[in-house]
Amino acid sequence: MKILLASSEVHPFSKTGGLADMVGALGKALAGAGHEAAIVTPLYRGIREKFPELRREDWHFNILLGEEWVQGGLWSTVLDGGLKIYFVEQPDFFDRAGIYHEKNISYPDNDQRFIFFSKCVVHLARYLPWRPDLVHVHDWQVGLVPILMQQQKSEGWGNPPATCLTIHNLAYQGVFGPEAFTLTNLPRDFFTLEGAEFYGGLNCLKAGIAFVDTITTVSPRYAREITTEEFGCGLDGLLRKRRDRLFGILNGVDYNDWNTTNNPNLFKPFSVTSIAGKKINKRELQKFVGLPVNESTPLFGTITRLAEQKGVDIQLGALAEMLTSNIQFVLLGSGSPDFEKGYQTLARRFPDKVAVRIGYDEKLAHRIEAACDFYLMPSAFEPCGLNQMYSLRYGALPIVRATGGLDDSVIDFVQDAKRANGIKFHEYSNQALAKAIRKALAIYGQPELFRRYQRNAMKADFSWEQTLGEYVRVYELAGNCQIHAM
C-alpha cells in the first residue's frame, strides 16, 4: 500500500515522548515490509543542522489560515530502507526552542501552528505525485486532517485517500476557543456536537474521531478503557458510537535502536545468554550518577515525562517509605516543576541512595535501562508505554500498575508463574506500590528466581513484525469502508 503518516514528532528528528518512537518505528516497519511509506512532520529548530543530508523540495505551500495566507516550504530525506520523511518548513511556527511549549507554558498559537501543519498534510495527500492510498494521522495535532479532507472531497477532490487516526493519549485533545475554528476555514456545519465542537470550543482530536475512517489506539486494554467514563476524557460517548471502527494494537519496539548487543550508548554489551555485561553497566552508571558503586544493591530506575499520568505522586510516596531499605533509585525526567522539586528533595534526603537528573538525555536513558535491576512505571493510566518494553529487553524487571498497555505487555507471577517477567499492582496508592517494591526485593533476594524473571523479560518480543499486519488490516478496512460510504 501507499501510506502517508503524519505526526508532530518523529524519532530521530524530534521527540518529547513515545509518539516519536512509535511513528518513526511504524514508518520503518512499513517500508521494510515493502509498502510505499512516507512521514510528514514539522521542520523544528536544529533538525537541519543535525541532519545536513536534508534536501529542499521544489514545493511551496500557500495556506489560508482564517483570513491570512501563510507560506511554507518542504524539505525531505530518505532513510535507509526507503522511508521518506517530509518536513514542513514555517520558521515563525516551528523554528522555536520547544515543540509544544517553553518553560512549561504552551505556545499561545498552538492552534495556528498545528492547523497550518494539518492543512499542509492535506495538501501533500492531495498533490503528492505518488498519491497515497491512505493517510494515517497521529494525535490531536493532525486530528483535523480527516475533516479537512472531507471538505475538499465535497469541493471536488475526486478520490481522496482513506484515513486512519491513532490516539496515543486521549488526555491531550487540542482544545481551543471557538475563534480557533475560523482558522480551519471549514463551513460552520462542521462545528457541531457531531463534529469539531466541544463545550463551545474547537476539539481537534474529537473532529478526527468523528470523521476518520478507522481509529486505532496503542494497546487493546486502552481501547477498552477509553470507551468508559473513567478513562474517556469526555469523549467516551463518541468512542462508543464508533466502537466498530476502533482497534487496540499494541505498539512495537524498534530493536535496532533499543537493543543491548549493538548499542553505542551502553558501557558494555550484554544479552540473555551473556548477562555479565549488565553488571558492568550497573557499576558504570552508579559511578556516572554519583551513587555508591555496589553490584549487589538493587537498583531501581525511571525515565519519564514528569506528568500526573505517570504516577509521580504515588512513586514519591512509596519511595520515601522504601528508601529506608538497602536500595538505590535513579530518575531521569523533566516536566512539572513541582514534581521535579519532589525528586530533588528526595535526592537531598537520601544522597547515598537517590540520583536525580532533570532534563532530557537519550544516551542516559539507554544507560539507565541497561543498569537497572527494576524499572518503576506506576502510571495512573498508560495508553501503551514503551519504557516497560525497553526495560524488559534490557533485563530491568518492570514494576507497573495494571493499566492500559502496561497490563498488556507485562506478565505477573499471578497470571503465569512460569512466564512471569515483571510485577503488577492494581490499586493506585503509595501502599500498593510500596508492596510491589517489597515483592521485587523478595525476588531479588532469590538469585535463581530473579534470573528466571530476567530471562523471560529479555526474551519477550515486541518487534513490529508481530503487529504490522494488524495495522495493514485496519488500513484495508479503512479503504473498504470508505468505498462503501461513497
The residues binding ligand GLC (CB under 6 A) are: 17-19, 22, 168-169, 218, 251, 382-386, 405
Could you tell me the smallest distance in angstroms from the CB atom of residue 157 to ligand ADP?
34
Instruction: Report how far residue 186's alpha carbon sits from residue 65's, in angstroms, rounded to the nearest whole number.
Output: 10
Nearer to ligand ADP, 17 or 277 (CB): 17
Could you tell me the smallest distance in angstroms from the CB atom of residue 217 to ligand GLC?
8
Tell me which of ligand ADP, ligand GLC, none is bound by residue 362, counting a contact when its beta carbon lies within the kind-specific cut-off of 5 to 8 angstroms: ligand ADP
Locate 484 and state its grid cell: 462503501
Could you tell me the smallest distance in angstroms from the CB atom of residue 361 to ligand ADP?
5
Nearer to ligand GLC, 136 or 168 (CB): 168
* Residue whose Cβ sits closest to ligand GLC: 18
Could you tell me the smallest distance in angstroms from the CB atom of residue 310 to ligand GLC?
9
Instruction: Report how far residue 83's alpha carbon sits from residue 318's, in angstroms, rounded to the nearest whole number.
Output: 44
Which residues have a Cβ under 8 Å from the Cβ of 297 and sit 6 or more positions away?
Answer: 326, 327, 328
Tell me which of ligand ADP, ligand GLC, none is bound by residue 246, counting a contact when its beta carbon lies within the kind-specific cut-off of 5 to 8 angstroms: none
Nearer to ligand ADP, 272 or 358 (CB): 358
Could you tell me the smallest distance in angstroms from the CB atom of residue 138 to ligand GLC?
8
Nearer to ligand GLC, 74 or 368 (CB): 368
Tell me which of ligand GLC, ligand ADP, none is bound by residue 365, counting a contact when its beta carbon lies within the kind-specific cut-off of 5 to 8 angstroms: ligand ADP
Residue 127 in contact with residue 161, Cβ under 8 Å? no
Residue owning grid cell 473513567: 230
Alpha helices by DSSP H, listed for 103-251, are: 110-127, 145-154, 204-211, 220-225, 236-241
Rg, the chain, Cα only: 23
Instruction: Report how far residue 388's alpha carbon sits from residue 311's, in angstroms, rounded to the nearest whole number.
Output: 14
Nearer to ligand GLC, 11 or 353 (CB): 11
Tell me which of ligand GLC, ligand ADP, none is bound by residue 360, counting a contact when its beta carbon lies within the kind-specific cut-off of 5 to 8 angstroms: ligand ADP
Nearer to ligand ADP, 12 or 269 (CB): 12
Locate 121 and state its grid cell: 498534510
Tell me which of ligand GLC, ligand ADP, none is bound by residue 376, counting a contact when its beta carbon lies within the kind-specific cut-off of 5 to 8 angstroms: none
| 197-198: strand order across its sheet | 175-176, 201-203, 197-198
Which residues have a Cβ under 8 Å from the Cβ of 274 and sit 6 or more positions away?
Answer: none
Could you tell me the smallest distance in angstroms from the CB atom of residue 470 to ligand GLC?
14
Alpha helices by DSSP H, listed for 212-325, are: 220-225, 236-241, 276-289, 312-322
Contact positions toward ligand ADP, by CB under 6 A?
Answer: 17-19, 21, 303-305, 332-334, 360-362, 365, 384-387
Which residues have a Cβ under 8 Å from the Cβ of 468 and sit 6 or more positions away?
Answer: 26, 29, 30, 33, 252
Tell me which of ligand ADP, ligand GLC, none is bound by residue 218, counting a contact when its beta carbon lies within the kind-specific cut-off of 5 to 8 angstroms: ligand GLC
